[in-house]
A and B are shown apart, each in its own frame.
Chain A
């Protein structure tokens, strides 16, 4: 069984970390990642850039509505995610639009650039 572990914290606090503090934290996390990877249990790991760099595509309209900023509704829940390799935001939005057309059942896609991506290879 695969599990996703999602990270939450106050970004105004974490983005104010000093370089040293950031590096130390990432190093400590990397030690745990290595342990999981050696056991063949680690899948992709990603760190997202701040929500200020996010764009949100709202579904459920005839043409999906694109708004600046992160997804901010609390009555909807995080159900899944895709990671796509794109030259720029336009390409990422076009991928999200295709997904929105394939699933028109409402909801939204938040498009957030990644700061760090490690693909990982779980054995299962």
Chain B
């Protein structure tokens, strides 16, 4: 007897592989989706009695392809329906399918499936929604909840994304090495977007978005299974694992965001950290650094410190400096300044970010970080101005509350100093 919960997990696990192959057959996202849906329904009907097949993905591809062909024939109304028994008799064919579909083929199928979701014409929100629907198989209501939008709005967003992809034409050529690399880069970026959507939405106190982080990690592991020797894929998986490991400590009982240095590190998920650390160790052996590896290495240094004061800020500053060289961006420089403030003090950190004020003047974190350096230097008036500017730019209540705590402290100190004078 096979229980339904197991079947459900097996269907989810086999989905990228099965959908990838069905998309190759039918060259149409909707047909592939319907075929997979039909195959899943049959699995729910037959697996409990007959037991699960040896290779669930191969079974789903075979049954899905038949049912898709069936639908196409029925709608074209020219070819009569094949008898039911030829469609259902899959036992012999299954082993054959499993052999034929093994290996390399799968890899390009799954990569294509992921890649169509990150078409450059699609805005990032559509890319994420489409990937969650097509690759992960989340339902529209589930995705809508994660994004805090209505179901019909989400339905529309996904339909629009599919229409754009269909209009642009799907990439069906077998990719060469360069093409594969480009696809891998685009797919990695999309997976990290999914992760960040979950990670930052959790700041708005939305537990519905938490599964997005789990889903992104699942996709990251999938990518790693397809490309086991790609150091950037290791870096991406490591980065997500180490960041997600902190989730139990990121919020206090009231749901308020707790900053890294104030977190109760005993609540971090250790197995997840160990998995991330071993992946980043593996990646470093290749000596081919990339942005995900460097960010993961920074996260790893935080994870390795048992107490905030044990953090190797020197090394973190060096890593941010190499990230700056690889991917110059004012936000990276701003992050490096935090490491600089720990190693060289607030004056050096402030000097480093002064040149950024033009480009980051509309960025919440810039003013928050700048305010804290000014405060450390005793320039209370300038700090107060920076903090007020930050509050005006805050993206969430939690962000604003965090800055307000700084301001309250300034006022309290000011009042205390004032009363002493009298």
- Contact residues of A with B, CB < 8 Å? 10, 12-13, 15-17, 21, 49-53, 55, 66-69, 88-90, 113-116
Q: Is the CB of A13 within 8 A of B10?
A: yes
Nearest Cβ distance between residue A110 and chain B, in whole angstroms?
12
Rounded to whole angstroms, the CA-CA distance of A98 and B360 in the bound complex is 53
Q: Given the complex, which residues of A lie within 8 Å of B10, measured CB to CB?
A: 10, 13
- A115, B275: Cα distance in complex, Å: 8
B279 adjacent to A52 (CB under 8 Å): yes
Do B12 and A16 have beta carbons less than 8 Å apart? yes
25 contacts between A and B (CB under 8 A): A12-B221, A12-B222, A13-B10, A13-B13, A15-B218, A16-B9, A16-B218, A21-B5, A50-B275, A51-B225, A52-B224, A53-B282, A55-B282, A67-B229, A68-B228, A68-B229, A68-B234, A69-B228, A69-B229, A89-B281, A89-B285, A90-B281, A113-B275, A113-B277, A115-B275
Q: Is the CB of A13 within 8 A of B281?
A: no
Contact B6–A13 (Cβ < 8 Å): yes
Q: Which residues from chain B contact A49 at a C-beta distance below 8 Å?
A: 271, 274-275, 278
B9 touches A89 (CB 8 A): no
**Chain A residues whose CB sits within 8 angstroms of the CB of B229 once the complex forms:** 67-69
A124: shortest Cβ distance to chain B, in Å? 30
Is there contact, CB below 8 Å, between B279 and A10? Answer: no
| Cβ 8 A contact of B9, one of A13, A50, A88, A113 | A13
Does B242 belong to the interface (CB within 8 Å)? no
The answer to whether B271 and A116 have CB atoms under 8 Å apart is yes
Pick the 10 closest A-B CB pairs, nearest first.
Answer: A89-B281, A69-B228, A115-B271, A12-B13, A113-B278, A68-B229, A52-B224, A53-B278, A49-B275, A13-B9
Compute how far the CA of A51 lies from the CA of B274 in the bound complex, rounded to whole angstroms.
Answer: 13
Q: Does B237 contact A (CB under 8 A)?
A: yes
Contact of A52 among B6, B228, B274 (CB under 8 A): B228
Docked CA distance A90–B278 (Å) = 10
Q: Which of B6, B10, B281 has the most CB of A within 10 A?
A: B281
Given contacts A13-B10, A113-B278, contact A52 B285 (CB under 8 A): no
Query: Looking across the interface, which residue of chain A has its beta carbon closest to that of B228?
Result: A69
- C-alpha gap A69/B234 in the complex (Å): 11
Cα separation A16 to B239 with both chains bound (whole Å): 19
Chain B residues bordering chain A, tally (CB within 8 A): 24
Q: Which residue of A lies closest to B300 (CB)?
A: A88
Interface residues of B in 397-419 (CB under 8 A from A): none
A53-B279 contact, Cβ under 8 Å, with A13-B6, A113-B274: yes
User: Of A16, A68, A114, which is within 8 A of B282 by CB?
Assistant: A68
Q: Please name all residues of chain A whose beta carbon is closer than 8 Å to the beta carbon of B281 when the two chains form the complex.
A: 88-90
A15 touches B282 (CB 8 A): no
Given known A89-B278, A115-B275, contact A52–B13 (CB-CB < 8 A): no
**Besides the known contacts A13-B13, A52-B224, A89-B282, 17 further A-B residue pairs in the complex with CB atoms under 8 A apart:** A10-B10, A10-B13, A12-B13, A12-B221, A12-B222, A15-B221, A17-B9, A49-B271, A52-B225, A52-B279, A53-B275, A55-B282, A68-B282, A88-B281, A113-B275, A113-B277, A113-B278
Measured CB to CB, the closest approach of chain A to B95, in angstroms, equals: 16
Known contacts A13-B13, A68-B229, A116-B271: does B277 contact A52 (CB below 8 Å)? no
CB distance from A58 to the nearest CB of B (A): 14
Within 8 A of A (CB), among B13-55: 13
Task: Return chain B residues, CB-CB under 8 Å to A67.
Answer: 229
What chain B residues lie within 8 Å of A12 (beta carbons)? 13, 221-222
Distance in angstroms between the alpha carbons of A53 and B228 in the assembled complex: 9
Q: Which of the residues A17, A52, A55, A69 comes within 8 Å of B221, measured between beta carbons?
A: A52
CA distance A115 to B102 in the complex (A): 30
Q: Are A114 and B274 in contact (CB under 8 A)?
A: yes
Q: In the complex the two chains form, is A50's CB within 8 Å of B13's CB?
A: no
What's the minimum C-beta distance from B300 to chain A, rounded to whole angstroms? Answer: 10
CA distance A21 to B5 in the complex (A): 10
Whether A52 pairs with B237 at a CB distance below 8 angstroms is yes
- In the complex, A113 Cα to B225 Cα: how many Å? 17
Cβ of A109 to closest chain B Cβ, rounded Å:
15
Q: Nearest Cβ in chain B — how far from A75, in angstroms? A: 16
Query: B80 to chain A: closest CB distance in Å?
Result: 39
Query: Which of chain A's residues has its CB closest to B234's CB?
Result: A68
Q: Using Cβ atoms and an 8 Å threshold, which residues of chain A touch B228?
A: 52, 68-69
Bound-complex Cα distance A17 to B12 (A): 11
Complex interface: chain A residues within 8 A of B222 (CB): 12
A49 vs B271: C-alpha distance when bound (angstroms): 8
B12 to chain A, nearest CB (A): 6
Please report the C-alpha to C-alpha distance between residue A50 and residue B12 in the assembled complex, in whole angstroms. Answer: 17
